[in-house]
Amino acid sequence: MSDKGALLEKLKGIVIDGIIEDSEGATKEALGQGVEPLEIVEKGLVPGIEEAGARFSRGDYFLPELVASAEAMQTAMAVLDPLLRAKQEARKTLGHVLLGTVEGDIHSIGKNIVGALLQAAGFVVTDLGANVAVGTFVAKARELRPNIIGMSALLTTTMVKQQQTIEALAKEGLRSGLKVMVGGAPVTGDWAKKIGADDFAEDAVAAVAVAKRLVGA
Amino acid sequence: MAHQKIVPIELKLQTRLFSPDDLKRFHLAALEIMEEVGVSMPSHKALDILAGAGATVDRQKMVAKLPRSLVEKALKAAPKRYTLGARDPGNSLDLDGKHSYLSTDGCGIETYDLWTGERRLSTKQDIEDSARLADSLPQIAFYWGPMVSAQDVPAKTRPLHELQAAFTGTAKHVQPETIITEEIAKYAVDMAAVVAGGYEELRRRPLLSVMQCAMDPLGQDGGSLEASLVAAEHGLPTGFMPMPMSCATGPATLAGNLVVTTIDALAPLVLMQTAYPGSPFFFAAAPTAIDLRLGSYTGGGPEDYLLAAGFQEICAYYGIPLSMGTMATGAKVPDWQAAVDNVFSTLASVLTTVAMMTGAGMLNGSKIMSFQQIVMDCEIYEIARRFAAGIEVNDETLAVKVIKEVGIGGNYLAHKHTRAHMREIWRPTVVDRSPLQVWEDSGRAGAFEKATEIARRTLKDYQTEPLAPEVQRELDEIIRKAEKTIRD
Ligand code: B12
């Protein structure tokens, strides 16, 4: 195997094993050896995260292992994204998901899991964190033009923020072409319909299926 | 239907998990982390109080580092024993380390309708109804939660509506987990004072206490801290409930989870005892482990039972009463799984002498309320109560004289000794012991059907000692005022 091949193989292994602390170094090492950023993504990181996702689907991996793989990939992407952008190159993905827990709500575990699984399935995920204001969702939607916005709400008192965000997106002319999916413990299909979301999912595995359907993948 | 006095568990049977050395290590680990890393307390009021007492405060991060001396001083100030009052003075709770009390579970979002069986969004009426059922059941010592969210009233005053429904439905002690801003807390105290007959009377006989959720790991919610400061100012007991989920918001190892649990229950004690030394304070907790496949909250499992037992020992080491998340099964209907979860969980709490157990009546990881489950959980409690009482040994109970009298091959059915003691033997309320034929003829009516009947009969016939009309009017008035003053 060439040096390059060995470096890509190493990165793939780092993602599969979720060795977050080695990910940045190995990425920089590959770049230093002249490997193209896009090649690092497509031949190192993506096969790694796909393998982790496959292991999770088969039941060989538990959730913490999958989340570690997603984080190892994210750490590498933080190095590569600016380079890709400078070269105006884009990696092949299923789409871009903007994710967050709504304002007044700090429950984040479910959202994080949804994010990890979406990444493992081939989506790019921008996680805005928890307690995200309606205005922040709107501003980020305008700036990043995602394919999907995913909103999590765990409280009956904060669910209404999902509705308000959808309304605000429409008012700002950002709703068409943008898909919205909602989730969280009290969120149901009826609620999603009522507030004009495109769909909802009860758990993270279903969230991936929903996201794929929404982007026609 | 008659009013019955609450029946606490008198604790005789006990188990132990930790050695004195283990307990010391938990304490030292918590101290080290609170001092070096600190805890997030996003409230300037809280940080002012702690900074004034010698904590190192980072205003940017809203983090307080708590020196060991401050923690130990606070622990000394906290009362080891106190009483939770109730509208009905005969039903107060003695938190003395010798009794265990059960409450309802709380903050669900759906209800299995008692009349149609359908699962639907929860309402204010559900709170009053579940409080009334709780009032009728002697096993339920206090109303925690509220059991469900009143989703048919405006969100901004919802906690106050819920409190009104709870006070209307039960004359027992009420402990909400929804008073999470200073503003709401002031109105809640006003309401409690109206019910108690004045602020001084409320302080003397706190019929309301306030529990908050912690923000694990190593943090609290700012609004909750400020709300609790208001409560403590009026002499109401306060407590904070960490619920680290191993692998997600807590370490995978159970001992590590307990370190996080200890810190997130103890750091607020430091704040409250610094602000109001000697104010009644309790620890609370619901530590658990995620489901490894789904990452979800499980509502049961051996880790939960061990964590409950373990944390009670840590609380006993500090001498502070604990309110432990108990029962609250992950099962979706009242089935075998619900029984397994709730029996193990009750035993873990009872056999380690937990003071307050929260609580009965919820399914799907505290998300769906079931009236039948309340009744059936009370039966689990009754069995545990009998179990915890242990076996008394003396001349009368050894019955040597009686055994000699009856002799070889006789029977004890008609003996005086039997009649004198037979009522000590437990009798079921919903557990089914009917003969097979009778059971088949009844349409196979088991525990669930019996519980349905009891709950329906109670909600039709049972009257809680009513609030005076002028008290109800004043509660309405307070809520109206809150509706006007609180911003959306
Ligand atoms: C852990 C927890 C907490 C932790 C959160 C820690 C964290 N960093 O996230 C802490 C302790 C901080 C907390 C605080 C509170 N909590 Co809480 N909490 C829970 C608990 C036990 C589990 C939630 C969880 O993490 N589940 C595990 C994850 C994996 O499941 P999930 O979140 O449902 O996510 C899955 C799906 O819903 C879906 N999904 C989620 N998001 C999204 C998004 C999209 C786009 C899609 C498609 C799918 C999707 O996929 C996920 C993965 O499978 C629930 C009870 C429960 N059974 O849900 C209560 C619960 C949600 N909390 C509750 C309450 C009341 C509170 C507090 C208000 C308590 C208080 N008095 O302080 C505060 C609120 C603070 C705030 N402002 O947000 C209530 C809500 C009741 C109600 N009426 O709304 C619940 C139901 C418990 C109860 N009965 O009391 N809580």
- Three-class secondary structure of residue B364 per DSSP: coil
Interchain contact A188–B (C-beta under 8 A): no
Tell me whether residues A63 and B294 touch, CB distance under 8 A: yes
Distance CA A81, CA A65 (A): 24
CB contact at 8 A, B372 and B339? no
Residues A40 and A139 in one domain: no
Q: ipTM score here?
A: 0.81
Locus of tokens 């809203």: B62
CA distance A110 to chain B (A): 7
In chain A, how many domains are there?
2
Express as a percent the part of chain B with pLDDT over 70: 100
Express as a percent the part of chain B with pLDDT over 90: 94
Domain that holds residue A35: 3-86
Asked whether the predicted pLDDT for residue B433 surpasses 80, the reply is: yes
Tell me whether residues A157 and B290 touch, CB distance under 8 A: no
What is the structure's pLDDT at B297?
Answer: 87
Task: Identify which has the larger pLDDT, B167 or A89.
Answer: B167
What is the structure's pLDDT at B333?
Answer: 96
Closest CA to ligand 1's atom 34 = A110
Q: Which residues of B touch A204 (CB under 8 A)?
A: 294-295
Domain CATH number, residue A198: 3.40.50.280
Least CB–CB distance from A62: residue in B221, B249, B293: B293
Domain boundary pick from A43, A58, A86 = A86
Residues B345 and B404 in one domain: no
Q: Is the residue at B69 inside a domain?
A: no
What is the structure's pLDDT at B196?
Answer: 97
What is the structure's pLDDT at A2?
Answer: 64
Residues B116 and B152 in one domain: yes
Domain that holds residue B249: 9-17+75-388
Residues B339 and B402 in one domain: no
Tell me whether residues B296 and A203 touch, CB distance under 8 A: yes
Give the Å distances, CA to CA, from B368 to A29, B329, B345, B446. Answer: 53, 10, 18, 21
Residues A75 and A104 in one domain: no
Q: Convert the pLDDT of each residue in B312-350 to its tens digit.
A: 999 999 999 999 999 999 999 999 999 999 999 999 999
Residues B417 and B294 in one domain: no
Residues B227 and B251 in one domain: yes
DSSP state of A1: -
CA B299 to ligand 1 centroid distance, Å: 13
Residues B304 and B411 in one domain: no
Residues A132 and A208 in one domain: yes
Asked whether the predicted pLDDT for residue A1 surpasses 60, the reply is: no
Give the Å distances, CA to CA, from A52 to A6, A7, A163. Answer: 19, 19, 35
Residues A71 and A107 in one domain: no
Domain boundary pick from A19, A53, A86 = A86
Tell me whether residues A157 and B109 touch, CB distance under 8 A: no
Q: Which residues of A touch B109 (CB under 8 A)?
A: 156, 185-186
> Which of A187-191, B66-70, B455-459 has the lowest average pLDDT?
A187-191
| pLDDT level of residue B423 (50, 70, 90 thresholds) | very high
CB contact at 8 A, B278 and B271? no
Tell me whether residues A204 and B249 touch, CB distance under 8 A: no
Interchain contact A186–B (C-beta under 8 A): yes
> Which of B48-52, B191-195, B296-300 has the lowest average pLDDT?
B296-300
Asked whether the predicted pLDDT for residue A103 surpasses 60, the reply is: yes
CA distance A173 to chain B (A): 26
Residues A126 and A64 in one domain: no
Residue among B292, B214, B314, B212 at smallest CA distance from B246: B292
User: How are the residues of chain A apportioned to helix, strand and coil, as percentages rounded to the nearest 5?
Assistant: 60, 10, 30
CA distance B170 to chain A (A): 24
Residues B218 and B338 in one domain: yes
Q: Which candidate in A156, A157, A188 is best for mutational testing of the B interface (most B CBs within 10 A)?
A: A156
Q: Which residues are CB-contacts of B485 (< 8 A; sequence separation ≥ 6)? A: B183
Q: Which residues of A touch B247 (CB under 8 A)?
A: 63-64
Q: Which residues line ligand 1 (CB under 6 A)?
A: A 104-111, 113-114, 150-152, 154-156, 181-186, 201, 203-204, 207; B 106-109, 149, 177-178, 180, 212-216, 221, 224, 243, 245, 249, 294-297, 365-367
Residues B380 and B403 in one domain: no
A75: its two tokens: 């750490």
CB contact at 8 A, B169 and B473? no
Domain boundary pick from B388, B411, B442 = B388
From B224, B226, B243, B298, the mutation candidate for ligand 1 (largest count of ligand atoms within 8 A of CB) is B243
Helices (H), B410-468: 416-421, 436-441, 447-461
pTM: 0.90
DSSP state of B468: P
Q: Which candidate in B293, B364, B367, B486 is best for mutational testing of the A interface (most A CBs within 10 A)?
A: B293
Q: Which residues of A touch B62 (CB under 8 A)?
A: none
Q: Is the residue at B29 inside a domain?
A: no
| pLDDT level of residue B13 (50, 70, 90 thresholds) | confident
Domain boundary pick from A49, A66, A86 = A86
Residues B318 and B415 in one domain: no
From A108, A131, A154, the mutation candidate for ligand 1 (largest count of ligand atoms within 8 A of CB) is A154
Residues A114 and A40 in one domain: no
Q: Is the residue at B261 inside a domain?
A: yes
A205: its two tokens: 């595995």
Residues B413 and B306 in one domain: no
Tell me whether residues B295 and A204 touch, CB distance under 8 A: yes
Domain CATH number, residue A17: 1.10.1240.10
Distance CA A155, CA B376 (A): 28
Residues A101 and A77 in one domain: no
Angle, CA B341 vertex, CA B339 and CA B346 arms, to 5°: 90
CA distance A116 to chain B (A): 11
Tell me whether residues B155 and A157 touch, CB distance under 8 A: yes
Interchain contact A113–B (C-beta under 8 A): yes
Buried b (16+ CB within 10 A) or exposed e, A12-33: bbbbbebbbebbeebbeebbee
Buried b (16+ CB within 10 A) or exposed e, B409-447: eeeeeebebeeeeeeeeeeeebeeeeeeeeeeeeeebeb
Residues B231 and B144 in one domain: yes
Kindly provide the residue ranges of all beta strands, DSSP E only, lying in chain A, ordered along the sequence: 95-101, 123-127, 148-152, 179-183, 199-200
Q: Is the residue at B204 inside a domain?
A: yes
Residues B290 and B411 in one domain: no
Q: Convert the pLDDT of each residue in B92-145 to its tens digit.
A: 999 998 899 999 999 999 999 999 999 999 999 999 999 999 999 999 999 999
Q: What is the residue-averaged pLDDT of chain A?
A: 93
The residue-averaged pLDDT of B245-269 equals: 97
Residues A51 and A114 in one domain: no
What is the structure's pLDDT at A121?
Answer: 86
Question: How many H helices and E strands in chain B?
Answer: 18, 20
The atom number, within ligand 1, closest to the CA of B299 reads: 57
The residue-averaged pLDDT of B455-473 equals: 97
Maximum Cα–Cα distance for chain A, whole Å?
57
The residue-averaged pLDDT of A83-97 equals: 87
> Which of B7-11, B51-55, B232-236 has the lowest average pLDDT?
B7-11
Residue among B198, B142, B191, B138 at smallest CA distance from B163: B191
Domain CATH number, residue B131: 3.20.20.480
In chain B, how many domains are there?
2
A210: its two tokens: 């929903």
Q: Which residues of B touch A157 (CB under 8 A)?
A: 149, 155, 158
Total count of residues recorded for chain B: 488
Crossing angle for the helix pair B254-275 and B302-318, nearest 10 degrees?
40
Query: Up-side HSE of residue B113: CA atoms within 13 Å toward CB?
Result: 8
CA distance B465 to chain A (A): 31
CA distance B183 to chain A (A): 16
Q: Which residues of B touch A160 (CB under 8 A)?
A: 155
Closest CA to ligand 1's atom 16 = B213
Kindly provide the residue ranges of all beta strands, DSSP E only, lying in A102-177, ordered along the sequence: 123-127, 148-152
DSSP state of B211: E
